[in-house]
Structure 1
C-alpha cells in the first residue's frame, strides 16, 4: 500500500484492495451457496438439514474466526509504522492460536452437538442430516482456522488479489466434490446433504496448503520469513491478539448468531417454512458480501493510515467506504424487488417453497440499507483498534432489541415467521445508528486530524 494525497487516489487504492476481497468473499459464499442449492435439489429434507447444520456452524466459525481477524489491524499498523520485524512473529502466534481454538471447538462439539439437535423440534431425517453434515464439516476445521490467519496477513499487506486467486481456484473443486458426494457420481458414495460437508472440508485443506506455499515462495510475503524459524508460544502475543480479537469475534458472533437463533426458533414451523427462510437468508448473505468486503478493505486502509499517524486520511477512507456501501444497498434492493421470483427458483423446484421464499426476499430488501452502514463502520472501527464499545453495541442491538421484538411478533401477532425478519431488520437498524455515532465520536475525540503526528 502507498500513501495517498487526494480523494481520487484514495478511491483507486480502496477499489484495488476492495474488488479482490469482494471476489474472494463471493467465492467463499458460493461454496455455501452450492452446498445449499445442491442439497436442496437433492431433497427438501436435505436442504433443511444443511440449513440447520449451517445455522449452528456459521456463528461459531465466524465468531471465533473474528478473533483471528485481529491479525489484519495488527499487521497493517505494524507495516504502516514500518515495524516489519514484528510481523512474522505475530502471524505465527496467530497460527498457534488458530490451532488451539479449532481443537477446543472440536472437543466442545463432541459433547454439545447431540443435546442441541435433540432439543430441537425437527423431523428425524432433518436432524440426522444436520448431525452428519456437521461431523463431515469438522474435518476441515483446523485448516479453515489457519487459513483465516494467513489470509489476514496477506490482506493486511494490501495483496488481496492473492487470496482472490486462491479462492477462485478452490471454488470449482468444491463444486465438483459436491456433485460427486451429494449425488454419488463416478463411484463415489451418495451422501445427500452430508456430502456437502465433506466437500467443504476437502476444499479447506486445499486452500490452506496453497496459501502456505504462496507465503513461503512469493514476494513480498517471503521477505517476512513467516515459516523460516521456529517461535515458541507467546502468551503475551496471544493476549494482544485476544484483546483486539475477542471483542471483534463477539461482535461478529452476536450478528451471525441472531440469524442462527431465528432459524432455530423457526424449527417449530414446518419444513417448507424452514427451507424457504433459509433460501431467502442464503441469498441475503450473497448481497451481504458487498458491505462485508468494504468493511474488510476499510480495516486494512484505515489501519495503515492510523499506524502512520495520518488521521485525516483514515477519516476520509472511512466515509468513502460507507458512502459506496449505501449506494450499492439501493442497487441490491432493486434487484431483490424486481427479480425475487427468479431468485427463489434458483433454490428449489418445489412450488410451495418457491412462493414462500419469494415472500421472504421482500423483507431481505430492508436488510440492505442497515447493513450498508453498520458493516463498513465496524470495519473502520477495527482499523482504529476500537473494538470494545462496538461489541457492547452489537450485543444490545441484536439481542436486546432485535431478537425479543422478532420473537414477540412471531409468536403473539399475525406476522408469524415474518415477525422474526422484522425483528432482524430492527436490530440491524439500531446497530447502524449506534456504530455510526461511535465512529464519528472517535474521529472527533481520539483520532482528530488536529492530533496528527
Structure 2
C-alpha cells in the first residue's frame, strides 16, 4: 500500500485493487444465501417457508458476529502502517477469542429459541423445518467467528483475493451439498429444507479448515496470524476488542431488525405489498455489496495511513475514497434502474407484484446514493476506531427518523395533495412510504457521519502538527556537543 509518488488517482487504483475481489466474493456469498431458499422451494412450499423462518432467526445472529469482526480490518492495517507487525498475532488472537465467546453465547440463544419458542401452529412441517434448520445453523455461528476473523485478517493484510477464492468455494460446496441432503442423493437421507442447514454446517466447516490452511502457507500471512501468537492472551485485550467491536455488532443488528420490522408492518396491507417490498429489498441488498466492499477497502487504507501517521496519505486516501464512491453509486443506480423490469421476474411472476416492484426500484435507486455515501463514511470512521458514533447514528437514522416517517406515510397519517400529484392515486401510502422514510434516515446518517469524519480529520491534523512542531526541539536537545 506504500507508494512514494501518491496521487488521488493512484490511491483510487489501490482502493479498487483491494475492493474488486471483495465485491466478487461478497456477490458469491449473496448467491449462496439465495440458493438456500430457492433449492428448499424445490422440496415444497412448507420447506421453503421453514428455511425462510429459520433464516429470520439466524441472519441477525450472523450479522451481529460479522459486524463485530469488521472492527478488525483497520486495527491490523494500523499495525501494518506503523510497522508494528509483531503485534498483529496477539491482536488477531484477541479478536478471535472475543468473537468466539460472543459466537458461543449466540449459538446457545439460538438453540434455546429453536426448542423453547419456535412454534408455528399453522403448519407442522414448516415448524419442523424451521426448528431443525435453526439447530443446524446455530452450530455454524462459532465457525463464522473463526472463518470471518481469518478472512478479515487476509483482507487487512492486503490479500483480498482470499475473499473471492473462498466465496466461490462456499458456493461450489454448498449447492451440491444442498442437492444431496434435500433430495437424499448418493445414499444420504432426504431431509427437505433441513438439508440446507446440514449443508451449511458442512460447507462452513470445510471453508474454515481451508482458510486456516491458507493462512499457514501463504508467504505474506503465515508469520502474523493468531496461530503464531507467542505473546499470550490477556482478558484485558479481549475486553478491549469487545468494547471496540460490540457497537458495530449492535449497529448491524439494529439495521437488520429495522428492515425486518418494515416487512412485518407491511403484512396487514396484503401479500402483494409484502412481496414487492421483499423483492426490492433483496435486489438492493445484492447491489449494496458494491459500496460495502469498497467500504472495507476504505477502512483498511484509512487504518494504514493513520498507523503511518502520514497526514498527506490520509488526505489523499479520503479524497480517493469519496471519488471511488461516486463510481460505486453510479454503478449501483445503473443496475437498479436498468434491471427494474427484468431482475424482479426471477423472484415472482405475479404482474401486480412486478408492477409495484418497478415503482419501488425508483425509490431504491434514489436511496442508493445516500446508502453508498453513509456506508463508506461509516467505514472511514471504523478506520479512526470510532465505533460508538456508528451505533448512535444507526439508531438515530433508522429508529428515530426512518421508521417514524415510514409509518406515518405508509398508513396515511401524513397526506398531502402533492403526494397524489407526484406519485399517483396511492400517493406515498404502502411500501412507498417506508422507502421515503429510509431515504430521510440515510440522508441523516450521511450528514452526521460527514460531520464526524471532518472532526476526526481535523483532530488528527492538529495532533500531527503538534508532534512536528516539537520534533526539532527534541532533536536539538539530543544533538551531542563536540569538544
TM over 0.5: yes
Question: For 2:154 and 2:321, how far apart are their aligned partners in 1?
Answer: 21
- Quote the residue 1:426 is aligned against: 440
Q: 1:401 to 1:44 in 2, by over 3 A?
A: farther
Are 1:330 and 1:368, in contact at CA under 8 Å, matched by a contact in 2?
A: no
Q: Are 2:31 and 1:9 aligned?
A: no
Contact 2:47 2:129 in 1 (8 A): yes
Matches within 5 A, 1:377-416: 377-412=377-412, 415-416=429-430
Runs of at least 5 residues in structure 1 that lack an aligned partner in the other structure: none
- Aligned-residue offset at 1:189: 4.1
1:26 alignment counterpart: 27
* CA distance, structure 1, for counterparts of residue 214 and residue 309 of structure 2: 31
Q: Distance in 2 between matches of 1:122 and 1:326?
A: 48
CA distance in 2, matches of 1:70, 1:149: 10
In structure 2, how many angstroms separate the alpha carbons of the residues matched to 1:350 and 1:290? 29
Stretch of structure 1 that moved more, 368-377 or 91-100: 91-100
Contact preservation (8 Å) 1:40, 1:347: no
- Cα deviation, residue 333, structure 1: 2.0
2:153·2:225 contact (CA, 8 Å) conserved in 1? no
Q: Which aligned pairs between 1:80-159 and structure 2 lie closer than 5 A?
A: 80-113=81-114, 118=119, 128-159=128-159
SS, match of residue 159 in structure 1: coil
Call closer, same or farther: CA 1:116–1:175 in 2, change over 3 Å: same
Q: Which residue is 1:446 aligned to? A: 460
Q: Give TM-score scaled by structure 2 length.
A: 0.84
Larger deviation, residues 386-395 vs 421-430: 421-430
Contact 1:139 1:198 in 2 (8 A): no
| Distance (whole Å) between structure 2 residues aligned to residue 63 and residue 71 of structure 1 | 14
Note closer, same or farther for the CA distance 1:104–1:403 as it changes in structure 2 (3 Å cut). same
Alignment partners' CA distance in 2, 1:87 and 1:163: 20
| Cα distance change of structure 1 residues 336 and 65 upon mapping to structure 2, 3 Å threshold | closer
More deviation, 368-377/354-363:
354-363
Following TM superposition, by how much is the alpha carbon of 1:46 offset from its aligned partner in structure 2, in angstroms? 4.6
The answer to whether the 8 Å contact 1:277/1:357 transfers is yes
Between stretches 251-260 and 155-164, larger displacement belongs to 251-260
- Counterpart in 1 of 2:327? 327
- Structure 2: gaps (5+ residues): 414-425, 469-483
Comparing 8-17 with 345-354, greater Cα deviation is found at 345-354
- 108-117 or 320-329, which deviates more: 108-117
Evaluate the alpha carbon distance shift between residue 133 and residue 266 of structure 1 in structure 2; reply closer, same or farther with a 3 A threshold.
farther
TM-score (norm 1): 0.90
Q: What is the distance in 1 between the residues matched to 2:263 and 2:197?
A: 19
Q: Which has the larger radius of gyration?
A: 2
Cα deviation for residue 218 of structure 1 reads: 1.7
Supply the distance in 2 between the matched residues of 1:345 and 1:374 (Cα, whole angstroms): 30
Partner of 1:71: 72
Residues 110 and 134, structure 2, Cα contact 8 Å, conserved in 1: no
Listed as ranges, the matches of 1:286-365 within 5 Å are 286-349=286-349, 354-365=354-365
Aligned-residue CA RMSD (Å): 2.8
Q: Alpha carbons of 1:137 and 1:443: their partners in 2 closer, same or farther (altered >3 Å)?
A: same
Provide Cα deviations, 1:266-303, integer angstroms capped at 9, x if missing partner. 44455555444333222111100000001100110110
CA distance in 1, matches of 2:443, 2:42: 34
Q: 1:142 to 1:271 in 2, by over 3 A?
A: farther
Q: CA deviation at 1:146?
A: 0.9
Q: Is the 8 A contact 1:55 1:263 kept in 2?
A: no
1:216–1:226 contact (8 Å) kept in structure 2:
no
Kindly tell me: are residues 57 and 261 of structure 1, through their superposed partners in 2, closer, same or farther at Cα, counting changes over 3 Å?
A: farther
Q: What is residue 246 of structure 2 aligned with on the other side?
A: 246
Give the Å deviation of 1:248: 2.1
How far, CA to CA, are the matches of 1:316 and 1:387 in structure 2?
Answer: 23
> 162-171 or 357-366, which moves further after superposition?
357-366
- Which portions of structure 1, spanning 4 or more consecutive aligned residues, are displaced by more than 6 angstroms? 120-124
CA distance in 2, matches of 1:359, 1:13: 37
